[in-house]
Amino acid sequence: MAHISRGFRGRPRREVDPARVPPGQYVVNDFPVLSAGPTPRTPLGEWSFTIHGAVDDPVSWPWEEFESLPSETFTVDIHCVTKWSKLDTRWTGVSVDTLLEGVTTEAAYVSAWCDGGYTTNLALEDLAGGRAWVVYEYAGEPLEPEHGGPARLLVPHLYFWKSAKWIRGLTLTLEDEPGFWETAGYHNRGDPWREQRYWSD
């Protein structure tokens, strides 16, 4: 009689709730690195985070001040347009709501800019309401340079290219200004649940 063994072929995979996986995506356990260029390494002493553009008063925090802003630790799922999704990723950082608290603006759009020159555009609405953060810790450790350290934008409800690594600031704008991938043909908003991958979607 055959002995049915559950086997020891590596760690058992956790059951994935299909309702958590957007259309066309598959779940990965590793954390792929996707960068359009080399990894910048800006010393913390030269790092600051700036909000400017169509605002009454621009604001800027050097690293030590940024780090002491009220932070949140939270667990979210992330979805890359190249079709991998990673569930239950844990981050620590500052909510964009907190960063925008003192900011008066007529702007409806934001361009996130980074060391290295990458940009991505978002509706201000998509950064507000507790759905976007500037994070500096992943899984309880300082964010690795390859994944955007010292700090990256995290907008988990949109495809991961909107989560700009090595972020240094937000420019608030009256008109929407497509960023690096958006100019190259990717969707302007990138909602994974609507599978908004390319312009034509």
Q: Which stretch binds Mo ion (CB under 5 A): 32-40, 42-50, 87-95, 189-197?
A: 32-40
Among 114, 134, 151, 155, contact with ligand MTE (rule: CB under 6 A)? 114
The tokens 């954390």 sit on which residue? 31
Cβ atoms 80, 32 nearer than 8 A: yes
Residue nearest to ligand MTE (CB): 118
Please tell me the number of Cα atoms within 13 Å of 60 on its side-chain side: 10
Q: At residue 121, what is the residue type?
A: N
Q: Does 32 bind ligand MTE (CB under 6 A)?
A: yes
Q: Does 136 bind ligand MTE (CB under 6 A)?
A: no
In angstroms, the Cα distances linking 138 to 21, 27, 37, 76, 78 are: 21, 18, 21, 11, 13
Nearer to ligand MTE, 109 or 118 (CB): 118
Judged by beta carbon, residue 122 or residue 172, the one nearer Mo ion is 122
Tell me the pairing of strands 26-27 and 84-95.
parallel
Query: The tokens of 178 are what?
Result: 């497509």
Contact between 168 and ligand MTE per CB under 6 A: no
CA dist 12 → 3, 15, 56 (Å): 19, 9, 54
* 147 touches ligand MTE (CB under 6 A): yes
Q: Does 161 bind ligand MTE (CB under 6 A)?
A: yes
How many residues line the site for ligand MTE (CB under 6 A)? Answer: 17
Q: Which chain residues interact with ligand MTE by CB under 6 A?
A: 32-36, 80, 114, 116, 118, 147-148, 160-161, 163-166
